[in-house]
A and B are shown apart, each in its own frame.
Chain A
Amino acid sequence: MSEIATAQDEQDARRHLLLSSPAIVIMILLGFIPLMIVVAYSFMAPGDYGGVVPKFSFEAYVSLIFQRDMFDDTLTFSSSYLEIYIRTAVFGVATTIFCVLIGFPTAYFMATRPAKQRNLWVLLLTIPFWSNLLVRTIAVMFIIRDEGLINTVLMHLGLIDRPITLLYTNFAILLGLVYSFLPFMVLPIYASLEKFDFRLVEAGFDLYASRFKVLTQIIIPLAKPGIVTGSILVFVPAFGAYVTPLLLGGGSHLMIGDLIALQFGSSRNWPLGSAFSIVLMVFVLLALLFQIRRSGQVKHG
């Protein structure tokens, strides 16, 4: 009996392995190997015209926070990259927060429409994806530049005499990031609210809860899986954003993504670019671990 069961188990295990092998092969080819190449590059020296020289070196990691003097080789602390890390983290977190603040009411609105209308709202939400991110970002530039829609309207209304500088500011970057990633927040929250049993809201009111308490004690906790998923979907790409800060920040408010592109491009320092990529990934992983642990605790606590 037990022998038969063991043989059966072995056969099952073999079958599972075989069936999952395409996925495993793809993950190794497209995920693991490129990642290992990046890790390897980050420990090498830069070639003169890009690429790497296969020579072991910590130099890329050292230059993340130190600047090497050109003449006497002494290391001095440099905050210029650190500022970019911090700015990236702040933009990542701020984008996520604003996306939750705007995305939750939007998703709630969509989920409370009659069932027939909901698909239309989802469709409307996906319209921005029909065009390229670059085009959409440039469109944002046209709206917020000095001669753009906002300033023109405000001046015509006589509210301001001179255009307010909006483009090439931190505000512009944040606006661009929130605009680009908002649908990634709305859709998962909508998905969890659509399944939400609104009779629980009635039960809450029946048990003396105010509107605010119903929102914070019943609706938000039950929409939490959607909020967590949305936050990950927004935070991760916002953290590595490249086009938005480059265009809307005018090159003066760089994020890690731009820095990486710069190293592989005009700076021709592939090891440093690789080291930045690793740092970015570690940040994202830490943030995700933190978030997963927190949401896990709430569930069990």
Chain B
Amino acid sequence: MSSITPLRAAKGGAVSILSVLKDFGNFRAVDDVSIEIRPNEFFTLLGPSGCGKTTLLRMLAGFEAPSDGKILLDGTDISMLPPNKRPINTVFQNYALFPHMTVAENIGFGLKMLGKSAAEISSSVEEMLRLVRLENAGNRSVTQLSGGQQQRIALARALAPKPKLLLLDEPLSALDLKLRKSMQIELKRLQQETEITFIFVTHDQEEALTMSDRIAVLNGGKVLQIGSAPDIYEHPADRFVAGFIGETNFLEGDLMSSADGVGTVALRCGPVVEALTAKSVASSGAVTIVVRPEHLELVAPGSPQAVDATVEQIVYFGTDTHVHARLSDGTALTIRQQNRPGPKEGIAVGRTIGVTIPPRVAQILKD
């Protein structure tokens, strides 16, 4: 029936995206992207809408051909293979379940197309239903299912042929917050149990941070940074990554000296801080440092090495409180404080507070 035999391999495939370009007319959707994805990895493509992440995913699935460059799966060039010849399955954003088929027929569709026997299909369907914890849903119509259940069936359908690579195109975006949280954990579990390489596309940085082994941050068709969640959060490569992942504060200053990955920066607003620096940063000149709200410390106004700021807004989040303040030069600053039992300190809107930056938590950005 089909010339490929998928893949009862215990491990997911390795993907090499080599200098891939994609042009739509004059618009370059994907611009010279190179990514190595390891076998059995939960890899996330993260970026705002229009950053090229979905186009990249569609090229992996085979719905678009790269304008230039190559895509290798376990060393074999698959760039020009049609989607039905690739041992790769997709979980679509809108699930794209076949409405005229039952749940079991949906899950068994891929295996049926591969020419598997009825017995093999039905045992695999049962296995998949168990995997996504919908054991009794097999005979139901997919249109009767809730969004979360449809999501699981879409996963089961894509996993049933045991692909080397599973592509997930913002699969959680249609779910409500609570369901999304539980599906994040579920997805991670499925990835670990099936040992299939997952490539997950999202614009939600929190989703990316909680699930991924590694993340590639994309913008304007280019890869800005590839790294683990802590890497990207704590050591953002540039201003875009720093601003896109989580809340952050940018402060201008002058680099006075740097050695062993630590630079001393004289901030325009006064204090001199020790900040982490990447190798590519020049040894002196104007720089921007980035510091996360939870790393800032509140002190009494006028303390040494502190900068004074006026509180503009206080937002209570339950586990923590965000204090939005402004420096005398107009720079906005967000400070996050963990909430502890007991009376709150005297922070109120309009008051002046002191803020310090502890040594070696801020990051110097390259320009």
A205 touching B84 by the CB < 8 A rule? yes
Given A202-B63, A202-B83, A203-B90, A208 and B96 contact (CB-CB distance below 8 Å): no
Q: Beyond the given A199-B94, A207-B84, A208-B2, could you list 15 further A-B residue pairs with CB under 8 A, ordered by the A residue number?
A: A197-B94, A197-B96, A202-B83, A203-B92, A207-B89, A207-B109, A207-B110, A207-B158, A208-B84, A208-B85, A208-B161, A209-B113, A210-B113, A218-B98, A222-B100
Residue A206 is within 8 A (CB to CB) of chain B in the complex: yes
Residue A221 is within 8 A (CB to CB) of chain B in the complex: yes
Task: Enumerate chain A residues within 8 angstroms of B109, measured Cβ to Cβ.
Answer: 204, 207, 209, 217
Residue B131 is within 8 A (CB to CB) of chain A in the complex: no
Task: Enumerate chain A residues within 8 angstroms of B161, measured Cβ to Cβ.
Answer: 207-208
Task: Enumerate chain B residues within 8 angstroms of A200, measured Cβ to Cβ.
Answer: 96, 98
- Residue numbers of A with Cβ under 8 A of B are 197, 199-200, 202-210, 213, 217-218, 221-222
| Whole-angstrom CA separation of A209 from B161 in the bound complex | 12
Shortest Cβ distance from residue A214 to the other chain B in the assembled complex, whole angstroms: 9
Task: Enumerate chain A residues within 8 angstroms of B158, measured Cβ to Cβ.
Answer: 206-207
B100 touching A221 by the CB < 8 A rule? yes
Most chain B beta carbons < 10 A, residue from A199, A204, A207, A217: A207
Name the residue on B nearest A224 (C-beta): B100
The 8 closest A-B pairs by CB, nearest first: A207-B110, A203-B96, A208-B113, A205-B83, A209-B113, A199-B96, A221-B100, A206-B90
- Residue numbers of B with Cβ under 8 A of A are 2, 4, 6, 61-63, 82-85, 88-90, 92, 94, 96-100, 109-110, 113-114, 157-158, 161
Task: Enumerate chain B residues within 8 angstroms of A203, measured Cβ to Cβ.
Answer: 90, 92, 96-98
Most chain B beta carbons < 10 A, residue from A204, A205, A218, A221: A205
| Whole-angstrom CA separation of A79 from B161 in the bound complex | 59
Given A199-B92, A199-B94, A213-B113, A206 and B100 contact (CB-CB distance below 8 Å): no
A and B contact pairs by CB, cutoff 8 A, 16 listed: A199-B92, A200-B98, A202-B90, A203-B92, A203-B97, A203-B98, A204-B109, A205-B62, A206-B61, A206-B88, A207-B89, A208-B161, A209-B109, A210-B2, A222-B99, A222-B100
Shortest Cβ distance from residue B36 to the other chain A in the assembled complex, whole angstroms: 24
Most chain A beta carbons < 10 A, residue from B83, B85, B92, B114: B83
Name the residue on B nearest A198 (C-beta): B96
| Whole-angstrom CA separation of A199 from B61 in the bound complex | 13
Task: Enumerate chain A residues within 8 angstroms of B100, measured Cβ to Cβ.
Answer: 221-222
Most chain B beta carbons < 10 A, residue from A203, A209, A213: A203
| Whole-angstrom CA separation of A217 from B84 in the bound complex | 15
Shortest Cβ distance from residue B102 to the other chain A in the assembled complex, whole angstroms: 10
Contact of A207 among B4, B85, B157 (CB under 8 A): B157
Given A202-B63, A218-B98, A222-B100, A209 and B84 contact (CB-CB distance below 8 Å): yes
| Whole-angstrom CA separation of A199 from B92 in the bound complex | 9
A210 touching B96 by the CB < 8 A rule? no
Task: Enumerate chain A residues within 8 angstroms of B96, measured Cβ to Cβ.
Answer: 197, 199-200, 202-203
| Whole-angstrom CA separation of A221 from B106 in the bound complex | 14
| Whole-angstrom CA separation of A7 from B164 in the bound complex | 65
| Whole-angstrom CA separation of A200 from B96 in the bound complex | 5
